[in-house]
Amino acid sequence: MAHLDTTGKLAILADAAKYDASCASSAAPRRTSLGGTGVGSTGGSGICHAYAPDGRCISLLKILLTNVCVFDCAYCINRASSNVRRARFTAEEVVGLTLDFYKRNYIEGLFLSSGIIRSSNYTMEQVVRVARMLRQDHDFRGYIHLKTIPDADPALIEEAGRYADRLSINVELPRAESFPRLAPEKQPDRIEATMGGLARRIGEAKAARRESRRAPLFAPAGQSTQLIVGADGASDAEIMSASRRLYESFRLKRVYYSAYSPIPASSSLLPAAPPPLLREHRLYQADWLTRFYGYSLAEIVGSMRQGMLDLAADPKLVWALANRQCFPVDINRADREMLLRVPGLGVRSVGRILSSRRHRTLRFEDLSRLTRSAERARPFVVTADSHPGQSLDGPMIDQPRNASRVPEPARRASHHTGGSQLELFAA
């Protein structure tokens, strides 16, 4: 291997890390560098310091320690049998890059992962060493997210949790039966056992912190995982069920969905065509509905067709169209639960409606001051001065925000859906 300088390694080891969708820097405890000797602060909702031309947030320095890997997972660019160029950072190089980037305000911190080298323990040790150097030698108080290697020594995981704000292990395959074929060295039950251990430690540390402010932290920003969409044939319904189970079993902060993306020299075990990116987006929307909007998984799955979310319309609109008997909703009387089901109304708009209507009766004009997407909501709501039945001439169900993300054919389809919907409220 020709000699690579740090920037040369960075090109390889950032490229190797980009299939991990997570770049969040949120949920860390509030801290600053005041009174310390180094740099860094955390707290609040996280900051995206740049956006790549793929529209993804760049918040952390997201790299692998090395892309050398003894595993041979078919979907992974770093699998043992891939002919990708290999590199390995020294711990000092990672520490230096993290601090130099951080001091210039490029990043919120470090997200460090690694290919499996030699053994789980050896790999985890290398990852933990970087975090230890940052925290102890440099008093680094920015965000640290560490990938946890399943089956690593609990003492190492314990140490990782002391330095890291977030820990994660990627499940990757929604179907347990896909592992032998696509990720032969990975054992889903071992992965889940490790995740269970993390969940327990995170919970214990949280409880201890409630008793005493001095109790040691353990991954205070929680744990997350990732599922690949479109690599193993799992339907959206299967993916959502897998995700629900993971959320519930391990109290995850986030399940990320990552549409399987073409990689150089891909394996013949994988589908030739990648799934549409819109599919990933729809899964996030549906995930949000079940976590913040009060929809049950059964309701979402029930409005799917053959286990798949509609690419042409967002799942909230799909549910509304399939449950027309629930609409129109009276903005001045409906409860929070029902207001949250109105396409176009988000959690914040609903909060504003509820507090405003205690003091005045809301007309449509008021609604348009409360939310930017009042027009989207119009066909689904009754206000003091408007009823969808009264204004059925124009194209009623427009979804400008969604439509802008939808490729051309899908957008046409969604207008079509909107059009066919009009008669319903005319009755």
Does 385 bind other proteins (CB under 8 A)? Our answer is no
Site for other proteins contains 176 (CB under 8 A): no
Query: From the CB of 164, what's the least distance to other proteins, in Å?
Result: 19
Q: CA angle, corner 31, sides to 26 and 36, nearest 5?
A: 140
- Is 85 a binding residue for other proteins by CB under 8 A? The answer is no
> 124 and 136 in contact (C-beta within 8 Å)?
no
Does residue 332 belong to the site contacting other proteins (CB under 8 A)?
no
Q: Measured from the CB of residue 9, what is the shortest distance to other proteins in angstroms? A: 10
Residue 80 touches other proteins, criterion: CB under 8 A? no
If the CB atoms of residues 50 and 176 are measured against other proteins, the closer one turns out to be 50
Q: Does 274 contact other proteins by CB under 8 A?
A: yes
What six digits make up the tokens of 99? 């601090």
Among 212, 306, 325, 404, indicate the residue that binds other proteins (CB under 8 A): 404
Under the criterion CB under 8 A, does residue 17 sit at the interface with other proteins? yes
Cα(142)–Cα(57) distance, integer angstroms: 17
The count of chain residues that interact with other proteins, using the rule CB under 8 A, is: 69
379 Cα distance to chain centroid = 31
Applying CB under 8 A, does 356 fall inside the site for other proteins?
yes
Task: Find the shortest distance in angstroms from Cβ 61 to other proteins.
Answer: 7
Query: Pick from 1, 2, 3, 55: which binds other proteins (CB under 8 A)?
Result: 55
Q: How far is the CB of 305 from other proteins (least distance, A)?
A: 26
Instruction: Name residues whose C-beta falls within 8 Å of residue 87's C-beta, 6 or more positions apart in sequence.
Output: 1, 4, 8, 9, 12, 13, 66, 67
Our CB check for other proteins shows the closer of 66 and 120 to be 66
Q: How far is CA 255 from CA 14, 28, 223, 258, in A?
A: 22, 17, 9, 10
* Residue 267 structure tokens: 């394996």
Sign of the C-alpha dihedral computed for residues 425, 317, 303 and 410 taken in this order: positive
Rg (CA), the chain: 24
Residues in Cβ contact with 198 at an 8 Å cutoff, skipping those fewer than 6 apart: 148, 157, 161, 167, 169, 219, 223, 250
Nearer to other proteins, 51 or 292 (CB): 51
**Do 109 and 61 touch, CB atoms closer than 8 A?**
yes
Binding to other proteins in span 91-120, by CB under 8 A: 97, 100-101, 103-106
Gap between the Cα atoms of 230 and 95, Å rounded: 35
Enumerate the β-bridge partners of residue 145. 111, 166
Kind plus residue range of the DSSP H or E element containing 62: strand 60-64
- Which of the stretches 40-48, 282-290, 304-312, 413-421 binds other proteins when contact is defined by CB under 8 A? 40-48
The smaller minimum CB distance to other proteins, of residues 145 and 244, is found at 145
Q: Please choose, out of 163-171, 178-186, 199-207, 265-273, the segment that lies near other proteins by the rule CB under 8 A.
A: 265-273
The answer to whether the bond into 328 is cis (omega within 30° of 0) is yes
Cβ of residue 91: shortest distance to other proteins, in angstroms?
17
Task: Find the binder of other proteins among 173, 301, 370, 396 (CB under 8 A).
Answer: 370
Query: Judged by CB under 8 A, does residue 56 bind other proteins?
Result: yes
Q: Is 241 in the site for other proteins (CB under 8 A)?
A: no
- The stretches of 138-182 forming alpha helices (DSSP H) are 154-163, 179-182
Binding residues for other proteins, rule: CB under 8 A, are 6-7, 10-12, 14-15, 17-19, 30, 32-41, 47-58, 61-62, 83, 97, 100-101, 103-106, 259, 261-268, 270, 272, 274, 277, 352, 355-356, 358-360, 362, 366-367, 369-370, 404-405
